A and B are shown apart, each in its own frame.
Chain A
Amino acid sequence: MLVDLTAVDYSRFPGREDGPRFEVVYHLYSVAHNHRVRLKVPVEQDDPVVPTASGLWPIANWQEREVWDMFGIRFDGHPDLRRLLMYEEFEGHPLRKDYPINRRQPLIGPKV
């Protein structure tokens, strides 16, 4: 069972300067055996692509959309990779460490 799917940006992490920038983290849980597995997938900055897990667990659909929204990591084979939390006109990926904290987005008016 997929409990959680998220990502980490290590671009300013002490001691991780030369490694891959992102890590996609899968938290797995087995109800039958009461085992937990944490799976970390390093992702390079230049082409951040990870194969999708939405075929295995349907819940991964939205969680991968959130990771795409917040970190800009694409998921190959995802059926509907749109932004989940932010709106479509949002520029950038706000949970990346190089996103300025006080950056202002353009205001989006109502659809006419």
Chain B
Amino acid sequence: MGVGAFFTSKLDEAIGWARKYSIFQYPFVTACCGMEYMATACSHYDVDRFGAGLPRFSPRQADVLFVVGTISHKMAPVLKRIYDQMCEPKWVVAFGVCTCTGGFYDNYATVQGIDTIIPVDVYIPGCPPRPESVIDGLMKLQDKIAAVRPALLIRVPGPPWTATPFSPGCASAAASASSPPTTTGVITPRCSAARGSCRPSPSAGTTPPSPSTCSWT
């Protein structure tokens, strides 16, 4: 290992450590889980201990999308648009069993799991989940954020991000200061293949490798 690689890895560790304690969340609250989310966010359980105490009510300022509550088919385009408006890097937490699988709403109106619409990083089951399990899911998300390597690069494979290394319109100071991945030759996929497979991009003009559940029109 060269000296440069050593410093790069240490820098990645430092950035991952800093990122995991500065979670700016966007609470997408639609149903009764929102009460449990508020209980978790208030001072009894105090998610501010984990650096997630500042919810941003604009998706452009948020890092983590908390989908809290049942998502109906009528709400699904809104959720997708909110997710698309968030800047990279971004993570998604499915809060409650309705967002994970649809829960007991096995009916005509409810989306059977938000991972049919957007990629999900952490699932927190429960109806509603206890604050302890929410905090457990938050800590799992922190581990995932801190483990991202290399932290300086935007790690999204596939169109339209293959041509430009950084997400368009979201060039932060850290992203512009880093070297492009073509010189380093390393583009680590952000997550597993299933994680990034549900990425429909109707405006890109290319067909993303999407499963059959992603039949966007």
* Partner-B contacts on A (CB < 8 A): 86-87, 89-90, 94, 99, 101-112
A103 to chain B, nearest CB (A): 7
Contact of A101 among B107, B111, B215, B217 (CB under 8 A): B107
Main secondary structure of the interface of A (DSSP, over half): loop
Look across to chain A and name the residue whose beta carbon is closest to the beta carbon of B81.
A110
Q: Contact at A107–B106, with CB atoms within 8 Å?
A: no
CB proximity of A110 to chain B, nearest CB, Å: 4
A87-B73, A94-B109, A101-B107 given as contacts; is B213 within 8 A of A107 (CB)? yes
B interface bracket (residues with beta carbon within 8 Å of A): 20 to 34
- Complexed CA–CA distance, A105 and B84 (Å): 22
Instruction: Report, nearest first, the 4 A-B pairs whose CB atoms are least far apart.
Output: A109-B216, A94-B108, A110-B77, A110-B81
CB pair A112–B202 under 8 Å, yes or no, is: yes
Q: Is the C-beta of B78 less than 8 angstroms from some C-beta in chain A?
A: yes
Kindly provide the distance from the CB of B111 to the nearest chain A CB, expressed in whole angstroms: 7
The reply to whether A106 and B80 contact each other, CB–CB distance below 8 Å, is no
A selection of 9 A-B contacts at a CB cut-off of 8 Å is: A86-B108, A87-B73, A87-B74, A89-B217, A94-B109, A101-B107, A107-B213, A108-B77, A109-B77
Kindly report which residue of chain B lies nearest to residue A94, judged by CB atoms.
Answer: B108
Q: Tell me the residues in window 29-79 of chain B with beta carbons closer than 8 Å to chain A beta carbons.
A: 73-74, 76-78
Query: How far apart sit A112 and B203, CA to CA, in the bound complex (Å)?
Result: 7
How far in angstroms is the closest Cβ of chain A from B109?
Answer: 7
| Contact residues of B: prevailing secondary structure | loop
Q: A86-B73, A90-B73, A102-B106 are known contacts; what are 4 more A-B pairs with Cβ within 8 Å?
A: A107-B111, A107-B215, A108-B216, A109-B202
- Can you name the residue of chain A whose Cβ is closest to the Cβ of B213? A107
In the assembled complex, the CB of A14 is this many whole angstroms from the nearest CB of chain B, namely 24
In the complex, B150 has a CB within 8 A of chain A? no
Q: Which residues of chain B are near A105, meaning CB under 8 Å?
A: 73, 108
Closest Cβ of chain A: how far from B159's Cβ, in Å? 16
Tell me the complex Cα distance, A105–B215, Å: 10
Residues of B140-189 at the interface with A, using a CB-CB cut-off of 8 Å, are: none
The verdict on B214 contacting chain A, using a C-beta distance below 8 Å, is yes
Chain B residues lying within 8 Å of A90, measured Cβ to Cβ, are 73, 108
Given contacts A109-B200, A109-B202, contact A103 B217 (CB under 8 A): no
Q: Is the CB of A109 within 8 A of B217?
A: yes
**CB-defined contacts of B84 to chain A, threshold 8 Å:** 110
Contacts of B106 in A (CB 8 A): 101-102
* Neighbouring A residues of B116 by C-beta, 8 Å: 107
Cβ-closest chain A residue relative to B82 = A110
Least Cβ–Cβ distance between A65 and chain B, in angstroms:
15
* B101 contacts the other chain (CB 8 A): no
Most buried by A among B106, B213, B217: B217
